[in-house]
Amino acid sequence: MTTTRTLVWTLMLSTTLTSPSYAFFKLGNHTEELSSTIGKTLGLTGSSSTLISQVAAQLPVSGQQATGGVGALLSLAQNRLSDQNNTELNQLIPGMENLSSLNQTGIKNGLSDINDMTAVISSFKQLGLSPDMVSKFVPLILKYLNTRGASEGLMSSLTQLWQQ
């Protein structure tokens, strides 16, 4: 587990200052700080590091792209799911409540504006990922949630929400 965390951290740091990450987070000087925070929130917290690692290992993406892509899809989920489904998602992915607080900081970080799949696709493009990569991320996230015991209701809601 420590090796996985170290690998993800190294990958994120090596790509933090790339042009796509600046475009995604739209923060200028605050990009590195927010990127690090998102990485710690989604990429380096217990079982969610497994999710980021699985995405990075199974797709031709960097750790930063895996973190950003998963973050974009989970932000859409958080912004659009019912309270009940959000509560369950927060339990299944440690750190999700921290992502919510990032969404509500008032900083124009690209996450709080993700309210539909068009915004997710735009985020993927800004990360240097093609729009078709969304359809490759979704099944990996759903599989991860299913193995963690996600309810049929949450899985159904996410499947509908993440359709292109």
In a domain, 51, yes or no: yes
Helix (H, G, I), strand (E, B) or coil at 98: helix
In a domain, 29, yes or no: no
DSSP state of 131: G
- The pTM of the full predicted model, rounded to 2 decimals, is 0.71
Instruction: Report how far residue 118's alpha carbon sits from residue 164's, in angstroms, rounded to the nearest whole number.
Output: 8
pLDDT tens figures, 128-148:
999 999 999 999 999 999 999
State the residue range of the domain holding 156: 39-163
pLDDT tens figures, 90-129:
899 877 766 655 544 444 455 667 899 999 998 889 889 9
In a domain, 27, yes or no: no
Domain count, the chain: 1
In a domain, 149, yes or no: yes
